[in-house]
Amino acid sequence: MPKRAPATAAKKTNSKPDPRPARGPKATNATSAKIKALEAFHDAPSGAVLTSDQGVAIPHTDDSLKAGLRGPTLLDDFHLREKITHFDHERIPERVVHARGSAAHGVFQVYDSLEQYTSAGFLCDPRRETPVFVRFSTVVGSRGSADTARDVRGFATKFYTQEGNFDLVGNNMPVFFIQDGIKFPDLVHAVKPEPAHEMPQAASAHDSFWDFVSLVPETAHMVMWLMSDRAIPRSLRMMEGFGVHTFRLINAKGKSSFVKFHWKPLLGAHSLVWDEALTLMGKDPDFHRRDLWNAIESGAFPEWELGLQIIPAGDELKYDFDLLDATKLVPEELVPVQRVGKLTLNRNPQNFFAETEQVAFHVGNLVPGIGITNDPLFQARLFSYVDTQLTRLGGPNFAEIPINRPIAAVANHHQDGLQRTTINTGTANYHPNSLGGGCPFLADAKSGYAHFPEPVDGVKTRERSERFLDHFSQATLFLHSLSAVERQHLTDACRFELSKVTRKEVRARVLSLFREIDPKLAEDVSIAIGVAVPKSFPVPPSGTRASTHRGDNGGISVAPSLSLEHQPKTSIKTRKVAVLAADGFEDEHVIALQAALVAAGATAELVSPVLGMITGARGKKLEVDKTFKNAASVFYDAVFVPGGAENLDALRGNIDARLFVAEAFRHCKTLGAAGEGVALLAAADLADVKLATGSKELVDEQGVVTAGAGVKTHALVRLLIAALATHRHWERASG
Q: Please give the Cα distance from 468 to 376 (Å, whole number).
A: 11
577-618 pLDDT per residue, tens: 999 999 999 999 999 999 999 999 999 999 999 999 999 999
Q: What is the pLDDT of residue 203?
A: 95
Q: Does an H or E element contain 362, and which? A: none
Q: What is the pLDDT of residue 3?
A: 42
Nearest to 724 by CA among 653, 682, 664, 644: 664
Where the chain has pLDDT below 50, the residues are: 1-27, 543, 735
**Which DSSP state fits 356?**
I
Q: Please give the Cα distance from 162 to 622 (Å, whole number).
A: 51
Residues 6+ apart with CB under 8 A from 216: 177, 178, 183, 540, 544
Q: What is the pLDDT of residue 548?
A: 54
Q: Please give the Cα distance from 74 to 155 (Å, whole number).
A: 50
Q: What is the pLDDT of residue 43?
A: 73
Helix axes 519-529, 484-499, angle to 10 degrees: 40
Q: What is the pLDDT of residue 541?
A: 57
362 is catalytic: no
351-395 pLDDT per residue, tens: 999 999 999 999 999 999 999 999 999 999 988 888 889 889 988
Determine how β-strand 256-265 pairs with β-strand 303-312. Answer: antiparallel
Looking at the chain, the number of H-run helices and the number of E-run strands are: 18, 19
14 is catalytic: no
Q: What is the pLDDT of residue 350?
A: 95
**Which DSSP state fits 475?**
H
Q: What is the pLDDT of residue 27?
A: 47
Half-sphere exposure of 414 (CA within 13 A, CB side): 16
- What are the two backbone dihedrals, phi and then psi, of residue 88, each rounded to the nearest 5 degrees? -60, -25
Half-sphere exposure of 166 (CA within 13 A, CB side): 22
Q: Does an H or E element contain 249, and which? A: strand 247-250
Nearest to 281 by CA among 99, 140, 192, 149: 149
Q: Give, rounded to a whole angstrom, the gap between the first and last alpha carbons of the chain.
A: 41
In the chain, the domains with their CATH numbers are 101-404 (2.40.180.10), 478-566 (1.20.1370.20), 576-732 (3.40.50.880)
Q: Please give the Cα distance from 195 to 203 (Å, whole number).
A: 14
Catalytic one of 165, 171, 346, 404: 171
- Stated pTM of the model: 0.91
Catalytic one of 98, 262, 288, 727: 98
Q: Please give the Cα distance from 731 to 340 (Å, whole number).
A: 36
134 touches 156 (CB < 8 A): yes
